[in-house]
Chains A and B, each alone.
Chain A
């Protein structure tokens, strides 16, 4: 009791003042662009008037324009992005989970070598090979248009290529913490490795799977370089490519609807992130402590 009181007292002493000032200064920096984008999305002209951060007159014109103007198929972009990111997240986390289970639980010849090889390969970001990816998928288009250049299917395949290197590490770290006795008991009861995987490990790892899926989802949402290479047609674009092509270079004319689009697309993601903040933060800090 006395300790708690003492702490409370301490926090009011002037020595903590700099901490508060520092936090407030940084918070202004942190929220400045967010305030700008929200208020310009609500301003009729899309531009901010001189000397004021808040719009003089609130209008929702920019928001309605997003879903009515045929030159900005924003709804289509959102659907493309969500489908692409969700399908990629689910498949790649499943593939990552398969790999993590094999690496963590199964003992086989070449295990250590394959782990090391995988670790080395995944340090090379695949988009560095962008010219080669372009040529390969240009060729695949002539055979299978559905997965060739210009298609969301082809883009998905490129993303999936990195799935084993992506989530497998985080998941393996988590699986390593599950006691071995669990699978030994199951083995004694006659369970096969795939039964152990589907019926014991998968349910146990639901929280970490959710976080991995979310991180993968956000990653795809933010991916620009490969998406811009693949998705030339305005109808197949993701939000990132669509908003960039729409606003790039012509901030004056399109800034208002762009701001509205950003707000619409950011809200669900920020909400998801903040709701899972605890898990994400512990994942991030665990990385620092483990190293």
Chain B
């Protein structure tokens, strides 16, 4: 007999798992606190406390079952959705990704020019009082000092030792970095500069030399204006995330910052000809593609279901072969089709001995997309249509026959409307799926063909989701804010569609 009762065993497993999870989260909180990331640390603390309360309390049975899924759902689905909405109201793109404070810190760095005195220093990287620090030896005067990110301290003779070249190598309270630490030093060194008074800074040039620099930018008190003392240009905050020349707005200082600008992305999508032209085209194609796809798949699937509705010979064999497209991993099928339609090596051109550039002509590419989608989807529609046909009451057909209806009348006037009613939630679901069918478009045509040379930003087969993906991650210019605005529009459309379908199927009331 088992020495432990099942419930005792279960309790041990529970405590064990909870202990591991808690230890992991405590470690993660520690890391977040070290990085002063209070949002992450706070979120993790809530999860830690929540988990222990839920699993040690005698009540709240339901939350024991719902807790893990809910936490994952909130953090990795709901938070990104909210964050998408938040990003969509910012000017958030390449060159404008950081906060204004961070951008100004970097601009201080950008504005450093070598001081006319040409002073330079030998430098040793290390730590002083737990802070990142540099030990500096002036190459002409041999004065030795310790530089921190906010202070420069000149050392008196005796508190440091030098090598044969009069370069300081050790100092009281200063620990030099090991070669491994130096290899990692770029993370802090790139933003490191030691203030030396009078707008002068000592800035590292590599890992063993530093130079005296002065700042050519003068910032006004509330950081709304920058004067370039060398070039004689005045830059002002343009209210949209950048400092631009007061007289010449095309002179832009980088980096910029993400500026709250609630209207820009949405209004831009509607009014900017560079954006609204492609968007309208993409939108029309998205709707037509999804609608025609569903219609074609259903027509073919239903016809097949009707053909197979009778117990004909080889039916099981036919069925097994015909659902193969549904069984194949779809991403692979799409890539295979892309190869088949390839102009130079494609099986289709080779077999027929022709040379048609299927994927490079806008209308042919759209046709190919529809054919491939039909291939991918008709088995599913065959299966659900078969199910619907079997669910039809048989007495209806008999009653219609008695009333003298012909075969085609029975089908078009009685069966088809009934099947449509049964299948409508699945048809809507399939429409919503194809509305966002990223894999098909991206893997088959990448949204192309696209005429980049003539300034096109959307390809002939781009749907909203591939367009958003390219806006966010395609090419060198990433416009995350705009991509998020497109995502929000898609959320609204998909959400409205699903709500309408839910209302029809009354699934919410039945819960």
Chain A residues 254-291 with CB under 8 Å of chain B are 255, 258-259, 262, 265-266, 269-270, 273-274, 277, 281, 284-289, 291
Residues of A with C-beta under 8 A to B469? 130, 225
Question: In whole angstroms, what is the CA distance A264 to B320 when docked?
Answer: 20
The answer to whether B511 and A23 have CB atoms under 8 Å apart is no
Which of A53, A192, A266 gathers most chain B CB within 10 Å?
A266
The answer to whether B329 and A197 have CB atoms under 8 Å apart is no
The answer to whether B76 and A101 have CB atoms under 8 Å apart is no
Chain B min CB distance to A16 (Å):
5
The answer to whether A124 and B6 have CB atoms under 8 Å apart is no
Question: What string of 1s and 0s marks CB contacts (under 8 Å) between B482-510 and chain A?
Answer: 01100100110011001100100101100
Tell me if A64 is interfacial: C-beta within 8 Å of chain B. Answer: no
The answer to whether A47 and B384 have CB atoms under 8 Å apart is no
Residues of B with C-beta under 8 A to A23? 304, 307-308, 314, 318, 322
Of A65-73, A153-161, A178-186, A205-213, the stretch lying at the interface with chain B is A153-161
Chain A residues 212-266 with CB under 8 Å of chain B are 218, 221-222, 224-225, 229, 240, 243-244, 247-248, 251-252, 255, 258-259, 262, 265-266
Of B29-37, B112-120, B129-137, B218-226, the stretch lying at the interface with chain A is B29-37
Question: In whole angstroms, what is the CA distance A194 to B83 when docked?
Answer: 36
The answer to whether A22 and B491 have CB atoms under 8 Å apart is no
Tell me if B424 is interfacial: C-beta within 8 Å of chain A. Answer: yes
The answer to whether B10 and A198 have CB atoms under 8 Å apart is yes
The answer to whether B83 and A51 have CB atoms under 8 Å apart is no
Secondary structure of the A contact surface, majority rule? helix
The residue in chain B whose Cβ has the minimal distance to the Cβ of A118 is B73
Residues of A with C-beta under 8 A to B78? 121
The residue in chain B whose Cβ has the minimal distance to the Cβ of A227 is B331
Known pairs A164-B70, A247-B335; A130 contacts B472 (CB<8 A) = yes
Secondary structure of the B contact surface, majority rule? helix
The residue in chain A whose Cβ has the minimal distance to the Cβ of B386 is A285
Question: In whole angstroms, what is the CA distance A51 to B424 when docked?
Answer: 43
The residue in chain A whose Cβ has the minimal distance to the Cβ of B81 is A129
**Pick from B333, B390, B438: contact of A33, CB under 8 Å:** B333
Question: In whole angstroms, what is the CA distance A119 to B66 when docked?
Answer: 14
The answer to whether A284 and B347 have CB atoms under 8 Å apart is no
Chain A min CB distance to B190 (Å):
15
The answer to whether B87 and A108 have CB atoms under 8 Å apart is no
The answer to whether A27 and B73 have CB atoms under 8 Å apart is no
Tell me if B312 is interfacial: C-beta within 8 Å of chain A. Answer: yes
Chain A min CB distance to B304 (Å):
6
Question: In whole angstroms, what is the CA distance A277 to B379 when docked?
Answer: 13
Chain A min CB distance to B336 (Å):
5
Question: In whole angstroms, what is the CA distance A161 to B81 when docked?
Answer: 12
Residues of A with C-beta under 8 A to B325? 30
The answer to whether A18 and B307 have CB atoms under 8 Å apart is yes
Chain A min CB distance to B83 (Å):
4
The answer to whether A195 and B423 have CB atoms under 8 Å apart is no
- Bin chain A's interface residue count: 35 or more
The answer to whether B7 and A225 have CB atoms under 8 Å apart is no
Residues of B with C-beta under 8 A to A161? 72-73, 75-77
Tell me if B480 is interfacial: C-beta within 8 Å of chain A. Answer: yes
The answer to whether B61 and A108 have CB atoms under 8 Å apart is yes
Tell me if B327 is interfacial: C-beta within 8 Å of chain A. Answer: yes
Tell me if A200 is interfacial: C-beta within 8 Å of chain B. Answer: no
The answer to whether B80 and A255 have CB atoms under 8 Å apart is no
The answer to whether A284 and B324 have CB atoms under 8 Å apart is no
Known pairs A102-B66, A262-B335; A286 contacts B87 (CB<8 A) = no
Chain B min CB distance to A135 (Å):
7
Tell me if A99 is interfacial: C-beta within 8 Å of chain B. Answer: yes
Of B160-168, B273-281, B338-346, the stretch lying at the interface with chain A is B338-346
The answer to whether A123 and B494 have CB atoms under 8 Å apart is yes
Question: What string of 1s and 0s marks CB contacts (under 8 Å) between B36-75 and chain A?
Answer: 0100100000000000000000000110111011101101
Tell me if B267 is interfacial: C-beta within 8 Å of chain A. Answer: no
The answer to whether B387 and A286 have CB atoms under 8 Å apart is yes
Residues of B with C-beta under 8 A to A125? 436, 494
Tell me if B337 is interfacial: C-beta within 8 Å of chain A. Answer: yes
**Pick from A112, A143, A289: contact of B391, CB under 8 Å:** A289
Chain A min CB distance to B502 (Å):
7
The answer to whether A222 and B330 have CB atoms under 8 Å apart is yes
The answer to whether A133 and B80 have CB atoms under 8 Å apart is yes
Tell me if A95 is interfacial: C-beta within 8 Å of chain B. Answer: yes
The residue in chain B whose Cβ has the minimal distance to the Cβ of A23 is B318
Tell me if B155 is interfacial: C-beta within 8 Å of chain A. Answer: no
Tell me if B413 is interfacial: C-beta within 8 Å of chain A. Answer: no
Chain A min CB distance to B440 (Å):
10
Chain A min CB distance to B376 (Å):
10
The answer to whether A284 and B65 have CB atoms under 8 Å apart is no
Known pairs A98-B69, A165-B73; A129 contacts B350 (CB<8 A) = no
The answer to whether B69 and A50 have CB atoms under 8 Å apart is no
Question: In whole angstroms, what is the CA distance A144 to B31 when docked?
Answer: 8
The answer to whether A193 and B61 have CB atoms under 8 Å apart is yes
Question: In whole angstroms, what is the CA distance A110 to B307 when docked?
Answer: 48
Residues of A with C-beta under 8 A to B340? 32-33, 36
The answer to whether A243 and B307 have CB atoms under 8 Å apart is no
The answer to whether B83 and A136 have CB atoms under 8 Å apart is yes
Question: In whole angstroms, what is the CA distance A122 to B127 when docked?
Answer: 51
Question: In whole angstroms, what is the CA distance A160 to B502 when docked?
Answer: 25
Supply 26 A–B pairs (Cβ within 8 Å), ascending by A. A11-B311, A11-B312, A19-B312, A22-B303, A23-B307, A23-B322, A26-B304, A31-B321, A52-B351, A106-B61, A112-B511, A120-B499, A121-B73, A128-B490, A129-B77, A129-B83, A131-B84, A133-B80, A142-B35, A143-B37, A164-B66, A193-B64, A251-B346, A285-B383, A286-B387, A289-B391
When A and B form their complex, which 10 residue pairs have the shortest distance between CB atoms, in order from nearest? Answer: A161-B76, A285-B387, A164-B69, A129-B80, A123-B498, A132-B83, A273-B327, A102-B65, A288-B384, A291-B425
Known contacts A119-B508, A244-B443; can you find 10 more A-B pairs with CB under 8 A? A26-B378, A33-B336, A40-B347, A48-B347, A120-B499, A124-B81, A128-B494, A144-B28, A252-B342, A288-B387
